[in-house]
Amino acid sequence: MKDFVEQRIIAAVRELLEKRVNGILQDVKIAVPMIEFGGYSGDTVVSPVINISSCERTEKERILLVDAYTLTISFSFPGNDSSEYCCYAYAVAVETALLEKPALKGVANRVAVTDKKYNRPKSKNYREGWELVLTLKITKEQ
């Protein structure tokens, strides 16, 4: 069975996060949770949520037969003193990894971070942490 483009994009983003972003984060001076997809949970790992949707194409993109997707990566960090720092570290690590591999190993033609949202806890409850939401625009020629 043939994989859909969306499946290949999500798989490539997951691989980028697990391998390259984790590698970049290992060089950070403060211990930050590593990215892991699967059943394991705890304070030493973070499992981002990846959502993809089609994006409205511009007239130029329609003429050139370019598909455009919006992909969001959401990270939720445990409520501790380093949660805010983790948001900034992950944002830089993801952007750095995408600059190194802007085509996701050939799955896309171009990937760019279009928005970063740093959501602070809604209350002063120590158990709530920060959240980082990165929005990416992914283009793929048909």
**pLDDT at residue 2, as a whole number:** 59
> Domain 5-141 belongs to what topology?
Alpha-Beta Plaits (3.30.70)
What pTM does this model have? 0.89
Domain segments of the chain as ranges? 5-141
| Each residue's pLDDT expressed in tens, for the chain with a length of 142 residues | 557 888 999 999 999 999 999 999 998 888 889 999 887 767 788 999 999 987 777 787 777 788 889 999 999 988 777 888 999 999 999 999 999 988 888 899 999 999 999 998 877 665 678 999 999 999 888 7
**pLDDT at residue 105, as a whole number:** 84
**pLDDT at residue 122, as a whole number:** 79
Cβ 66 vs Cβ 57: under 8 Å: yes
